[in-house]
Amino acid sequence: MRIAPAMLSATATLIAVTGSLPAQSPGYTDTPKLPSGWHVHDSGRPHPRVVDPGPAPAKPAPVPADAIVLFDGKSLNAWRGRKGDAKWSIRDGYAEVNRTGDIQTKQEFGDCQLHVEWATPAEVKGDSQGRGNSGVFLFGRYEIQVLDSYENVTYADGQAAALYGQQPPLVNACRKPGEWQTYDILFRAPRFLDDGSVKSPARVTVIHNGIVVHDCQDYLGPSAHRNLPKYRKHGPKGPIRLQDHGNPVRFRNIWVREL
Ligand code: MG
């Protein structure tokens, strides 16, 4: 983009006054359109308002008696890596993404209640999708985005708690970088007919730091980058996958209850 001298001086004044650049909106307008009318990762799609969820919990949330514990802070035995064992670093009760690839549960789940605690790096590096990016994928396919969305602008359908590439959260309930955050996810698996068509889509309710950010929201299909989601018939159960997007995001206290 060519910037007119007048714009340059206005920008310079703004930087002088605020100490930072005005919020740009990264994203795309050359991608296909979603049924909502917005392009996938639309740079013009409005950003959800920010809601302060209150202080981070001092310790991990209690685990219900009938929950299947997927990560207790000590062992990733319930998970496998891209090749063999899950190799994320474990220390002080959390697992940290370390560029060894995504990890996914050995056990598969269908309809479920999933609790995940995560924290993006306290030392802020990068911006937009490059800051604290990870993700929670139900069935290894349907992503709930993990991102540092505290004063970090990215396209609305890619910010923290978005159904990536499809649906922004109702509000931005992100805590500061380095602080522990929670996702409580109620997931209903999609149902398919014999001919492969969708009988009922995947549906999710997500509570981020105690705040509802999706209320029975349908997935349009598996999460996709710069592309329209498209369902392909699969079985009634699948693994839970956590994304290694190259940023050292931390996870702790992960448990699931089958429904
Ligand atoms: Mg992600």
pLDDT surpassing 80 at residue 13: no
Say how many Å lie between the CA of residue 135 and the centre of ligand 1: 4
Which tokens belong to 19? 């100490």
Ligand 1 centre to CA of 146 (Å) is 6
Cβ atoms of 20 and 124 within 8 Å: the answer is no
Q: What is the Å distance from ligand 1's center to 159 Cα?
A: 9
Q: Indicate the pairing of strand 112-119 with strand 181-188.
A: antiparallel
Residue 29 has pLDDT above 60, yes or no: yes
Q: Given the structure tokens 């050359």, which residue do they identify?
A: 30
Using one digit for the tens of pLDDT, what is the confidence trace for 134-178?
999 999 999 999 999 999 999 999 999 999 999 999 999 999 999
Contacts of 13 (CB under 8 A, 6+ apart): none
pTM for the whole structure:
0.91
Mean pLDDT, to the nearest integer, of 200-209? 98
> Distance, CA 194 to ligand 1 centroid (Å)?
32
> Which residues make up the environment of ion ligand 1, defined by Cβ < 5 Å?
133, 135, 145, 243
Q: What share of the chain is helix, strand, coil (3-state, %, to 5)?
A: 10, 30, 60
CA of 221 to the centre of ligand 1 (A): 16
Domains of the chain (ranges, CATH numbers): 51-258 (2.60.120.560)
Distances (CA, A) of 5 to 1, 21, 88, 193: 13, 16, 49, 60
